[in-house]
Structure 1
Amino acid sequence: MRLYATQTSPYARKVRIALQEKAIPCTVEWVNLRDPDHPALTHNPLGKIPVLLRNDGSAVYDSAVIIQYLEVLYPDPPLLPLDPDARLEALRIEALAGGIMDATVSWVLEQRRATDCQDPDVLQRARGKVLAALAVLQEETRLWVDAATAPVLSLAQIATVAAVGYVDLRAPDCLPQFPELMTWMHAMRLRPSVRDTWPQ
C-alpha cells in the first residue's frame, strides 16, 4: 500500500500513527499540495490528503475512512474497543480532535491572507473552538496516564496527539493554559509512532 501525505498534515499524521501502531507495511509518498499536478489528485478529486492507495490500485480517503478500513483489514491490535458505548466514546473524541484540526486549518488560512483582508470574526471563532475543545481533551488525557507505554494507542489517543501536535505547530500560544495536556503530550513523544511522525 501507498499513502499520499504531507509532513505537516494532522489528518495524514493520524493515519501514519495508526499504521505504525498496527505495524502495517506502507510506503509514504510526500506530496506538495501547491503543485497543481500532485499525485493525490489522480486518486482523490478533491485533491486532499491523506489518500491510501490499495494494492489493487483503488483509493481510500479521508483519514477517518482510511482508519476504519485498516481496522477491518488488520483487526489486531484494535484501535477501537468492541463495546458499543466505549466505541462511541472513542469516535466522539476522534470527532472532537478532528474539529480542532479543522478550526486550526481555518485559522491558519485566514492568517495567511493580507492583514487588511483578514476577518477578525473568523479568527476569533476558530480560536474559540480550538480552546474550548482543548479544554475537553485535557480532561480526557487525565484518564490516559499510561498511554505512552501502552501496548497500542487507541484511536482517541491517536487523534488527540495529531490534533494537539498541529496546534503546537501552527498556534502554539493556545497551549500554555493547558499544562496537563502539554505534560501528557511531552510523555507521548517518547513513543516511537508519535516521535517518528512529529510535524516538521
Structure 2
Amino acid sequence: MRLYATQTSPYARKVHIALLEKNIPCDVEWVDLRAPGHAALEHNPLGKIPVLVRDDGSSVYDSAVIIQYLEVLRPEPAIIPHDPEARIEALRIEALASGIMDTTIAWVLEQRHASDCQDAAMLQRARGKILAALAMLQEETDAWQDAGTVSVLTLAQIATVAAVGYVDLRVPDFLVQFPDLTTWMHTMRLRPSVSATAPR
C-alpha cells in the first residue's frame, strides 16, 4: 500500500501513526499540494490528503475512513475499542481533535492575509474554539499518563497527538495555558510512532 501525505498534515499524521501502531507495511509518498497535477489528484479527485492506495489500486480517503479501513484490514491490535461505550468515547475524542485541526488550519489561513484584510471576529472565534477544545483534551490526557508505554495507542490518543502536534507547529502560544497537556505531549514524543511522524 501507499499513503499520499504532506509532512505537516495532522490528518495524514494521524493515519501514519495508526499504520505504525498496527504494524501495517505501507510506503509513504510526500506530495506538494500546491503543485499542479500532484500525485494525490490521480487517486482523489478533490486532491486532498491523506489518500491510501490499496494493493489493488483502489483508493481510500479521508483520514477517518482510512482509520476504519485499517481496523478492518488488521483488527488486532485494535486502536478503536470493541466495547460500544468505549468506542463512542474514542470516536468523540477523534471528532474533537479533528475540530481542532480544522479550526487551526482556518486560523492559520486567515492569518496569512494582509493584516488589513483579516477577519478579526473570525480569528477571535477560532481562537476561542481551539482553546476550549484543548482544555477538554487536557482533561482527557489526565487518564492517559501511561500512554507512552502501552502496547498500542488508542484512536483517541493518536488523534490527540496529531491535533496537539499541529497546534504546537502552527500556533504554539495557544498551548501555554495547558502545561499538563504539553507535558503529556512531550512524553508521547518518546514513542517511536510519534517521533517518526513529527512534522518536518
TM-score, scaled to structure 1: 0.99
1:76 CA drift (Å): 0.7
Q: How does 1:61-72 map to 2 (within 5 A)?
A: 61-72=61-72
SS at 1:183 equivalent: helix
> What is the alpha-carbon root mean square deviation over aligned residues?
0.5
Tell me, in whole angstroms, the C-alpha distance in 1 between the residues paired with 2:28 and 2:165. 19
The runs of 4+ residues in structure 1 deviating greater than 3 Å are: none
- Map 1:175-194 onto structure 2 (within 5 A): 175-194=175-194
Alignment-mate amino acid for residue 105 of structure 2:
V
Tell me the distance in 1 between the aligned counterparts of 2:10 and 2:51: 13
Return the alpha-carbon distance in structure 1 between the equivalents of residues 46 and 111 of structure 2.
Answer: 23
Which consecutive unaligned segments of at least 5 residues does structure 1 have? none
What is the match of residue 88 of structure 1? 88
- Once the two structures are TM-superposed, the CA of residue 138 in structure 1 deviates from its matched residue by 0.1
Aligned to 1:160: 160
Letter in 2 for 1:6: T
Total equivalences in the alignment: 200
* Residue 76 of structure 1 pairs with residue 76 of structure 2: yes
| Aligned equivalents of 1:122, 1:55: Cα separation in 2 | 43
**C-alpha displacement of 1:46:** 1.1
2:128 is matched with which residue? 128
Helix, strand or coil at the partner of 1:149: coil
Q: CA deviation at 1:50?
A: 0.1
Q: Which residue of 2 aligns with 1:12?
A: 12
1:29 equivalent to 2:29? Answer: yes
Distance in structure 2 (CA, Å) of the matches to 1:41 and 1:5 = 12
Say which SS state the counterpart of residue 29 (structure 1) adopts: strand
- Mind listing any 5+ residue stretches in structure 2 that lack a counterpart? none
- Between stretches 42-51 and 12-21, larger displacement belongs to 42-51
Task: Give CA-to-partner distance per residue, 1:64-121, whole Å, 9 cap, x none.
Answer: 0000000001001000111100000000000000000000000011011111111101
- Code of the residue aligned with 1:139 in structure 2: it is E
Q: Distance in 1 between matches of 2:171 and 2:130?
A: 10
Partner of 1:148, secondary structure, is coil
Q: Which amino acid aligns with 2:180?
A: E
Q: Which residue of structure 1 aligns with residue 58 of structure 2? A: 58
Residue 101 of structure 1 aligns with which residue?
101
User: Aligned letter for 1:180?
Assistant: D
Aligned counterparts of 1:44 and 1:115: Cα–Cα separation in 2: 34
SS at match of 1:52: strand
What is residue 117 of structure 1 aligned with on the other side? 117
